[in-house]
Amino acid sequence: MSVIKGFGTYDVRFPTSLGLDGSDAMNPSPDYSAAYLVLRTDEPDPAGASDAPLAGDAYVFTIGRGNEVQLAAIRAVEPLVAGRDLDETLADPGRLYRELISDSPLRWLGPECGIAHMAIGAVVNACWDLAARRAGKPLWLLLAELSPRQIVDLVDFRYLSDAITPGEALEMLERGAVGKAGRVAALRRDGYPAYATTPGWLGYTDELLAALCTEAVEDGFTQIKIKVGARLADDKRRLAIAREAVGDKVGIAIDANQVWDVPTAIEWVRALASVSPAWIEEPTSPIDILGMAAIREGVRPVPVAGGEHVPNRVVFKQLLQAGSIDIMQIDACRVAGVNENIANLLLAAKFGVPVCPHAGGVGLCEIVQHLAMFDYVALSGTMDGRMIEWIDHLHEHFTAPATVTGGRYRVPETPGASTQMQPESLAEFAYPDGPAWHGSGLR
């Protein structure tokens, strides 16, 4: 009998604040970081080049300080998972997910939000990485090849049945199964649309902004994103530079990263309307459902996008029920893992809202591409109005890095969830004693 032996945890931080990569109005100098988990087993790795046992890798994205508490939360989940039979666990991943989110002490800390919920997400995602590596398939394909009934069984419909029932979800997935093989072939041939956030970090100079916008167009992107919200005059200047660089046919989304209250958001977005924003992202508190709805009404026709900081499926349900968002932005590491994000994708499909996943952080492009591709193949059946965020930072630290060419994600084929970091990177960027942090002046 193979069992889950336990966790290995790592505090991994990249000093992105030195170049202001990732800077925005709420987070002026982040260090992109990962509270990193290795879920260890005693089963030989079928693809391993050495005698190392099979493992699953995952993480929670943070911006540096905060890794400590997130890692403590991940370790608090370990007693609930260590010692489990591996075959039984992977045979019913819906059961593991439901048991973890229902654990009374962890639930008391949430419920279903915050560091405990994200820790559960890391564990659930690590299990899916392990399952996909064991099966010899990329995660998107492993999920897409499940039957509609198996996919429904992954989801906890508690608190959702007033918006979507298991029966409705099953019907949508059965419709989504029609033509699945053709969509797999199309995905492998054409990839999945991407948009570029790399040009638009708030701390970049005007010169760098212009150069990166031009480069994004040359690289085939049809949309970029610019951070806004610090000073209106600066936003107008920077957006004018971006529009001149990309021309009239490339979309420019704007992202306020939650800095405004409702009246300010409406006034500010109206002041930027001349650039014809593709959307305004996170204009206020991500859980202010009625405030988001008021902003959506007040800034029409500019679409409202949100979701990267939405803590659970219940808030997504309410945002959709209230008509608060035009675009849903799931995050692979904010909610309780793959299972809960499948619930979010089902909700979006029920309400007819496109999903454009958030991926602005270390490792987020790598894992969330699998969810978007699963959605296309097995549920929504379309890429219209959908694209995945792309930032051109830190991919080299992963054993199977996400790849974008011609403005489109190329389909990952390596078994797993693309979440495994290079061992050398785990050592180099370990905080605070890794070599990358010696002499940085940031410790």
Burial of residue 279 (number of CB atoms within 10 Å: 0-12, 13-18, 19+):
buried
**Parallel, antiparallel, or unpaired for β 304-306 and 280-281?**
parallel
Residue 335 host element (H or E):
none
Conformation bin of residue 65: beta by default, left when phi > 0, alpha when psi is -120 to 50: beta
Q: Which contacts qualify for 175-181: CB closer than 8 Å, 24 or more apart?
A: 175/381, 176/148, 176/378, 176/379, 176/380, 176/381, 177/148, 177/378, 179/381, 180/144, 180/377, 180/378
Question: CB–CB of 345/319 below 8 Å?
Answer: no
Q: What angle do CA 307, 238, 214 make, to 5 degrees?
A: 90
Alpha-carbon 35 to chain mean position: 15
Question: CB–CB of 241/217 below 8 Å?
Answer: no
Give the C-alpha separation, 112 to 385, whole Å. Answer: 30
Alpha-carbon 265 to chain mean position: 24
Give the C-alpha separation, 431 to 13, whole Å. Answer: 6
Which residues make Cβ contacts (< 8 Å) with residue 297, sequence separation at least 6?
Answer: none
Give the C-alpha separation, 258 to 279, whole Å. Answer: 14
Alpha-carbon 247 to chain mean position: 29
Just list the catalytic residues. Answer: 227, 358
Tokens of 160: 């959702």
Q: Which of 130, 119, 123 is nearest to 67 (CA)?
A: 119
